[in-house]
Amino acid sequence: MATVRARSESVADAAARSAATQTGVGSARVPWFLILPLTLLVVWTVAVDRQWVTQGIVPSPVQVAKSWHRWIFGGPGLGLSPYSGTWLANVMYSARRVLEGFLLAAVVGIPLGLFIGWNRLVARVVDPSIQLLRPVPITAWLPFSIAVFGIYDASALFLIGLGAFYPIVVNTTHGVRDTNLLLLRAARMLGAGPGTILTKVVFRSALPSIFTGLRLGIGVAWTAVIVAEMIAVKSGLGYVLWDAYYVGRMDICVATMFSVGLLGFASDRILQLIARWFLRWRALEAVA
Amino acid sequence: MPPVVELVDVWKEFVTGRRRVEALQAIDVAIARNEFAALLGPSGCGKSTLLNMVAGFDAPTRGRALFNGEPVRAPDPRRGVVFQEPALFPWYTVRDNLAFGPRTQGLTATQYDPKVQLFVDQVGLTGFESHYPAELSGGMKQRVGIARVLVMEPEVLLMDEPFGSLDAQTRSVMQELLLAVWERHHQTVLFVTHDIEEALLLADSVFVMTARPGRIKKRLAVDLPRPRALEVTTSPYFNEMKRDVLALIREESLRAAGER
């Protein structure tokens, strides 16, 4: 058994070594990712300062930062500005809609994708319709959605759910079809029936693809929530964005854009962390 | 007592588009209980196809594949398969890979845990229970593949070139391991290989197959005492047998090469 043990230790060594070289390449804790944003920030500041852009339309970074701060924490004195201290409330509106719509899309999309990938009959019946509807952008669904669901949360939920549904169902289907035939045979040979195979083999094997779909889906969900809130409901970041545009508050518009970007980024990172935990067996594969 | 595994006048034809490929012709094979049978033939002779039909992954075009006298209809845990690729579930640890079968049978952890541990120990993987397949070497993966099937206590062990992708040293170690495991359980085994020494070392009987379309050319009985160890491969009897089989195989390889 000694040789076998040595073998597994060498795998661990390789992992340690590759981790070491990875930090080595980036060299000495330079925050490389900050270089580009900082450069853009400088260009932006200079452009506004030197009046390269039309005055009064593009706000300066400082102006945006001040308005954003006030929007988050509120300002001194009487809150004449409608945006004073309302940031968190609006973030919560949008985040809740994204979460609800996204979960709805996942709850429908993952099982449906499993069945489309697994069963040829289901694929023949359902898949063509999905592929036909998929090219219709969610923005095109707006009038229909408002007409059917009205200017309520249901309308936003429909648009977000629909937008996130497509990448989730398509990637799940793809993952199921990619399942190794040998693993299916192994499972059958060990006495597994269709139910066990679907949940313990096919689903597990499709999980990396499913997470790809979920990550794409949550991105679409943030796009959809802004579109929906701009028109179909009266709260949330999208509503603020459109409202601020109407009253000429470009500083708030820009602050909203940053907010959406950061929230989208954060939700993707959370999904990535969840995926990493579920797919920890795969991280080991990359090392070995 | 009927043979555990029996193939009666089995023919197999593959049709892809307009092309028809005759894979197997008039195969008659019978394997008795506790017999270790090897299926030996050049690559592409249809020996894996034959094994797949016994396993229930594939059906004969003509003829019958029987298990305990009953036609084979679907895969069954009583006929455990060890594949050339280990085909482990990569998202399960070694222990969970072994527990897959018992769990499917509806056993609880307290029921199967001792048995899982027993077979982990028997294939020499003690201490690796919580490892994922990606952390194991090729030989270790194949040990898991074997143990996963043994846990089910199958009546027949179907092995499809299980050591074919291993390096020579690991292969010898695995052959000895298999011999040791077999001495303990005496399962009926159908072992597919293209390695003459491997077939002679392991098996009681060797079915030598022809090149495509595959037919059974000859059945040889290997009268080597058991328990066997790698050392028998140097005995005069072993070498004599090897020479005979080599001649049979060479005939086939030449014929196959000539036809191309």
Q: B259: distance to nearest CA of chain A, Å?
A: 32
A3 — pLDDT class (breaks 50, 70, 90): very low
By percentage, how much of chain A surpasses pLDDT 70? 87
In angstroms, rounded to a whole number, what is the distance separating the alpha carbons of residues B260 and B248? 19
Does residue A179 belong to any structural domain of this protein? yes
Average pLDDT over residues A56-67: 89
Q: Which residues of B touch A (CB under 8 A)?
A: 55-57, 74-77, 79-81, 83, 85, 87-92, 100-101, 104-105, 124, 126-128, 131-137, 139-140, 148-149, 152
Q: Check CB contact under 8 Å for B134 and A191.
A: no
**Single residue among A34, A56, A78 that ends a domain in this structure:** A56
Residue A260 placed within a domain = yes
Q: Give pLDDT, residue B30.
A: 95
What ipTM score was computed for the predicted complex, to two decimals?
A: 0.92
How high is the pLDDT of residue A151?
A: 79
Question: Does A285 lie at the interface with B, CB-CB under 8 angstroms?
Answer: yes
What confidence score (pLDDT) does residue A141 get?
Answer: 94
Q: How far is CA B201 from CA A179, A193, B187, in A?
A: 36, 37, 16
Between positions 186 and 215 of A, the ones with CB within 8 A of B are: 186-193, 196, 200-201, 204-205, 207
For the cut 60, the answer to whether the pLDDT of residue A8 exceeds it is no
Determine what percent of chain B is predicted with pLDDT higher than 90.
77
pLDDT-based confidence at B44, cuts 50/70/90? Answer: confident
Residues from chain B that touch A188, judged by Cβ atoms under 8 A, are 56-57, 74-75
Print the domain residue range for A123.
87-287
Residue pLDDT, tens place only, A124-144? 999 999 999 999 999 999 999
In this complex, the residue of A1, A201, A279 whose CB is nearest that of residue B124 is A1
Do A119 and A258 lie in one domain? The reply is yes
Mean pLDDT over B79-91 rounds to 95
Confidence at residue A286, expressed as pLDDT on a 0 to 100 scale: 60
| pLDDT at residue A266, as a whole number | 97
State percent of chain A over pLDDT 90: 71
A269 Cβ under 8 Å from any chain B Cβ: no
More confidently predicted of B5 and B249: B5
Among A17, A38, A56, the domain boundary falls at: A56
Structure tokens at B256: 């196959």
Would you call A190 and B137 a contact, using CB atoms and an 8 Å cutoff?
Answer: no
Q: In what order do the strands lie in the sheet with B5-16?
A: B19-31, B5-16, B62-67, B70-71
| Residue A56, pLDDT score | 76
* Residue A77, pLDDT above cutoff 90: no
Predicted model pTM: 0.86
Secondary structure tally for chain A: helices H, strands E: 13, 0
Residue A217 lies in a domain: yes
Pair A35, A104 in one domain: no
Give pLDDT, residue A2.
40
Give the residue, A3 or B44, on which the prediction is more confident.
B44
CB contact under 8 Å between B80 and A189, yes or no, is yes
Name chain B contacts of A282, Cβ cutoff 8 Å.
90, 134
Q: Which of B55, B87, B104 sits opposite A182 (nearest CB)?
A: B87
What is the C-alpha separation between B61 and B72, in angstroms, rounded? 13
Distance CA B215, CA A127 (A): 45
Give me the mean pLDDT over the B58-70 stretch.
Answer: 94
**Same structural domain for residues A107 and A201?**
yes
Answer whether residue A62 is part of any domain: no
User: With 60 as the cut, is the pLDDT of residue A17 above it?
Assistant: no
- How many residues are present in chain A? 288
Q: Domains of chain B, with CATH numbers?
A: 33-60+74-259 (3.40.50.300)
Residues A282 and A183 in one domain: yes
- Other C-beta atoms within 10 Å of B86: how many? 24
Beta strand pairing status for B70-71 and B79-82?
A: unpaired
Question: 């959370």: which residue's tokens?
Answer: A270
Kind of pairing between the strands at B19-31 and B70-71: unpaired
Between CA A208 and CA B230 the distance in angstroms is 44
What local confidence, expressed as pLDDT, does residue A234 receive?
86
Question: For chain A, first and last CA: distance in Å?
Answer: 20
Rg (CA), chain B: 19
Residue with tokens 């300062």: A49
On whether both A26 and A92 belong to a single domain, the answer is no
Same domain, A92 and A42: no
Does A42 share its domain with A92? Answer: no
Tell me: do A129 and A259 sit in the same domain: yes
Looking at residue A85, what is its pLDDT? Answer: 86
A14 inside 8 A of chain B by CB: no
pLDDT score of A81 more than 80? no
Summarised one tens digit per residue, pLDDT across range B186-236 is 889 999 999 999 999 999 999 999 887 889 999 999 999 988 988 899 999
Bridge-partner residues for A91, per DSSP?
none
Higher per-residue confidence, A25 vs B259:
B259
Q: A240 in a domain, yes or no?
A: yes
Q: Are residues A203 and A98 in the same domain?
A: yes
pLDDT at A18 over 90: no
Residue A7 has pLDDT above 50, yes or no: no
Average pLDDT value over all residues in chain B: 92
Residue with the bigger pLDDT between B143 and A77: it is B143
Q: Is the pLDDT of residue A203 over 70?
A: yes
Note the pLDDT of residue B149. 95
Supply the pLDDT for residue A1. Answer: 38
Domains in chain A, number: 2
Those residues with Cβ within 8 angstroms of residue A28's Cβ, 6 or more apart along the chain or in another chain: none
Chain B nearest CA to A181, separation (Å):
9
Question: Are A192 and B91 a contacting pair at CB < 8 A?
Answer: no
pLDDT score for B252: 76
Rounded to whole angstroms, the Cα distance separating A96 from A196 reads 34
Q: Is the pLDDT of residue A223 over 70?
A: yes
Domain final residue pick, A36, A56, A76: A56
Confidence of residue B141 (pLDDT cuts 50, 70, 90): very high
CATH number at residue A112: 1.10.3720.10
Name the band, by pLDDT with cuts 50, 70 and 90, for residue A209. Answer: very high
Answer yes or no: are the C-beta atoms of B231 and B191 closer than 8 Å: no
Q: Are residues A41 and A135 in the same domain?
A: no
Residue A235 belongs to some domain of the structure? yes
**A26-54 pLDDT tens trace:** 566 788 889 999 999 999 999 998 888 87
Q: State yes or no: pLDDT of A229 exceeds 70.
A: yes
Answer whether residue A80 is part of any domain. no
| Same domain for A43 and A146 | no
| pLDDT confidence band for B259 (50 / 70 / 90) | low
Task: Tell whether A6 is within 8 A of chain B (Cβ).
Answer: no
pLDDT band at A80 (very low <50, low <70, confident <90, very high): low
Q: Are A30 and A117 found together in one domain?
A: no
Banded model confidence at residue A55, pLDDT cuts 50, 70, 90: confident
Per-residue pLDDT at A4: 42
- What is the C-alpha to C-alpha distance for residues B189 and B114, in angstroms, rounded to an integer? 25
